[in-house]
């Protein structure tokens, strides 16, 4: 059996051949394979190095009778644990599309302006999580609510295993708090939905008939100021056979917005086709319910106590502010481990 390092050496040899770039598509595939293998090997090399450093520090402390030599051990163990944790999750992320970029959409549900505000809070939470993961985030579409919050929004998140990590957030999110929009300061319950679909590359054939599309243009909305578009550059595409609607307004060019919207549509049509093939008991179908009571995947309680609890895994924490600032790792990890065991 060929080891990963042996395969890397083989790919390096192939890359050095004069005719390597004669088939550009094959060359790109091989280079990506090499890059992926190098990351895996590099991770194991880092683990071995950290273990060696810890052992040497402990031995030095014993030989020199110098307890202070152990001061660095906790931080090194913490770094090693984080690396092993990352490796474990990568092992779980083995679905065909887990490595894909992702489109993440946000929709307020029952709860009026509180839910619109809650949807915007979730938008910020996911952006912060993605940034902490080193992902690149682009706003594809944003429709502000008149009073506060958003009517809808869509992000494009790109990075290694972006879809694999973010798919854990698909579903209904419930918020309990003292409403800032209630003059009597009463406690309100709000709901908002997050939908996550993988970005489908050009290798996947999705047939879209131009006659099946209704394309509308409109002026991009925003918070005001000099950056609001003054032309009808935003694009809304309706796929008539399915009723799927996608929008894009992040580009100033109508042509670019149309191109981006079509990419989102391709991904949504692919996801729809995959859902049609799944059994009714599949977890993804369970996640997509009415945006209201009894259907949430996670509850965020800010009053009368403070707690975030995932109803799928039982994972919980009292550090609500940290979670809303994008500290989602414990929930993502618990979800991925739970689904891997199913």
Looking at the fold, whether 272 and 301 belong to one and the same domain comes out as no
Residues 159-192 as b or e (16 or more Cβ within 10 Å = b): bbbbbbbbbbbbbbbbbbbebeeeeeeeebbbbb
Q: Is residue 79 part of a domain?
A: yes
For residue 240, being part of any structural domain is answered with yes
> In angstroms, rounded to a whole number, what is the distance separating the alpha carbons of residues 108 and 145?
10
Long-range contacts (CB closer than 8 Å, 24 or more residues apart) made by 308-311:
310/334, 310/335
Pair 112, 194 in one domain:
yes
Establish if 180 belongs to a structural domain.
yes
Same domain, 147 and 165: yes
20: containing domain: 4-92
In a domain, 220, yes or no: yes
CATH number of the domain that residue 166 is part of: 3.30.70.1660
- Domain boundary among the residues 230, 245, 277 is at 277
Residue 330's alpha-carbon distances to 168, 218, 264, in angstroms, are 11, 41, 29
Structure tokens at 93: 């992320």
Q: Same domain, yes or no, for 170 and 294? A: yes
To the nearest 10°, the Cα dihedral for 117, 154, 288, 313? -70
Q: What is the CATH number of the domain that holds 247?
A: 3.30.160.20
Maximum Cα–Cα distance across the chain: 80
Looking at the domain assignment, is residue 97 inside a domain? no
Residues 252 and 312 in one domain: no
Domain boundary among 62, 92, 122: 92
- Together in a domain, 271 and 310: no
Quote the pLDDT of residue 342.
57
Are 121 and 260 members of one domain? Answer: no
CB 273 within 8 A of CB 265: no
- 156 and 21 in a common domain: no
107 falls within a domain: yes
- Tell me if 204 is assigned to some domain: no
pLDDT of amino acid 47: 85
Of 251, 277, 303, the residue that ends a domain is 277
pLDDT of 196 = 94
**Could you list the mean pLDDT of each consecutive 10-residue stretch along the chain, which spans 342 residues?**
85 89 87 83 84 85 78 82 81 85 92 92 97 94 91 93 94 94 89 92 74 83 47 82 86 82 85 68 51 77 95 96 96 91 60
Q: How many domains does the chain have?
A: 3
């Amino acid at each position: 059996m060929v080891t990963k390092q042996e395969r890397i050496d083989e790919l390096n040899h192939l890359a050095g051949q004069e005719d390597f770039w004669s088939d550009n598509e094959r060359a790109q595939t091989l280079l990506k394979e090499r890059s992926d293998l190098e990351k895996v090997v590099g991770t194991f090399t880092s683990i071995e190095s950290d273990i060696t450093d810890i052992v040497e520090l402990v031995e030095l402390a014993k030989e020199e009778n110098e307890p202070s030599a152990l001061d660095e051990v906790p931080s090194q163990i913490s770094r090693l644990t984080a690396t092993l944790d990352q490796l474990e999750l990568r092992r779980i992320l083995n679905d065909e599309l887990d490595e894909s970029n992702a489109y993440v959409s946000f929709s307020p549900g029952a709860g009026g302006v509180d839910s619109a505000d809650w949807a915007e809070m979730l938008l910020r939470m996911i952006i912060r999580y993605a940034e902490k993961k080193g992902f690149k985030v682009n706003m594809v579409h944003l429709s502000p609510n008149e009073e506060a919050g958003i009517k809808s929004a869509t992000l494009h998140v790109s990075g290694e295993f972006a879809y694999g990590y973010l798919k854990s957030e698909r579903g209904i999110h419930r918020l309990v708090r003292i409403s800032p929009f209630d003059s009597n300061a009463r406690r309100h319950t709000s709901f908002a939905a997050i939908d996550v679909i993988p970005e489908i590359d050009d290798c996947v054939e999705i047939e879209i008939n131009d006659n099946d599309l209704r394309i509308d243009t409109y002026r991009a909305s925003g918070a005001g100021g000099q950056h609001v578009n003054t032309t009808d550059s935003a694009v809304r595409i309706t796929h008539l056979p399915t009723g799927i609607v996608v929008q894009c307004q992040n580009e100033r060019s109508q042509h670019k917005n149309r191109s981006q919207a079509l990419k989102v549509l391709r991904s949504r049509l692919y996801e729809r086709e995959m859902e049609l093939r799944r059994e009714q008991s599949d977890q993804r179908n369970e996640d997509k319910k009415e945006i209201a009571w009894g259907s949430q995947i996670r509850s965020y309680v800010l009053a009368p106590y403070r707690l975030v609890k995932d109803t799928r895994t039982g994972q919980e924490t009292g550090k609500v502010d940290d979670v809303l600032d994008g500290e989602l790792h414990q929930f993502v990890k618990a979800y991925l481990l739970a689904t891997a065991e199913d």
